[in-house]
Amino acid sequence: MRQRGIVQKGFGSGITLLRDYFDREEIITVILDQTEEVCRRAREARMNGRTITLGIGYSDDAGGGGFSKARTIDIPTNLTPKAYRVCKELFLENDCRRHAVRNVHVGLTNLVPEELSQLDLFEDDTKERQLAAAMDAIRKKHGAAAVTWARSRTEGGTAVDRATKVGGHRA
């Protein structure tokens, strides 16, 4: 996206969790919340990305560390379900230590404008695009927490709480 001579190189969203997350399903929920934020911003900018990055930081109480892995897909996307599927795969393939997680970061890079993206002949994502557009419109009108994925409303979800904050702090 060009704006005043600036070229958008990618979109990213990360969170430092308020507590250690031990349960893999809760961690996967946080990954979904971060993926939704990244894809929403990409859709807003009318950009698609080919490279999806997942960064996981382990709790200092568990010895710290973590991993950051990326995967480049054939057809660029800004749809949450597609990017989330890749992030989930990266997490399940690389979380060997199974320690408490404290940080999650999702990125979308290797961008191309939506109008230049090639369509997939084997998969019609028209309904997914319409759903994403409807969700984005509702959020724009009624706030970020007006519509969320059901998983984001579970114990591990961060989307609803995060919607009440500005820069990570209570508004």
* Segment 113-171, tens digit of pLDDT: 988 766 666 777 888 888 888 888 888 888 777 777 767 666 777 766 665 555 655 55
The domain ranges of the chain are 8-124
99 or 91: which leads in pLDDT: 91
Name the band, by pLDDT with cuts 50, 70 and 90, for residue 4.
low
How does DSSP classify residue 6? Answer: E
pLDDT of residue 169: 54
Tell me the pLDDT of the chain averaged across its residues: 85
User: Which percentage of the chain shows pLDDT scores above 90?
Assistant: 55
Residue type, 17: L
Helix, strand, or coil (residue 14):
strand
* Segment 6-17, tens digit of pLDDT: 678 999 999 999
Helix, strand, or coil (residue 136):
helix
Domain 8-124: which topology? Dna Ligase; domain 1 (3.30.1490)
pTM above 0.85, yes or no: no
pLDDT of residue 124: 77
The two counts, helices (H) then strands (E), for the chain are 4, 8
Q: What is the mean pLDDT of residues 52-74?
A: 93
Q: What is the mean pLDDT of residues 90-108?
A: 91
pLDDT of residue 17: 93
CA-based nearest residue to 132, from 36, 3, 22: 36
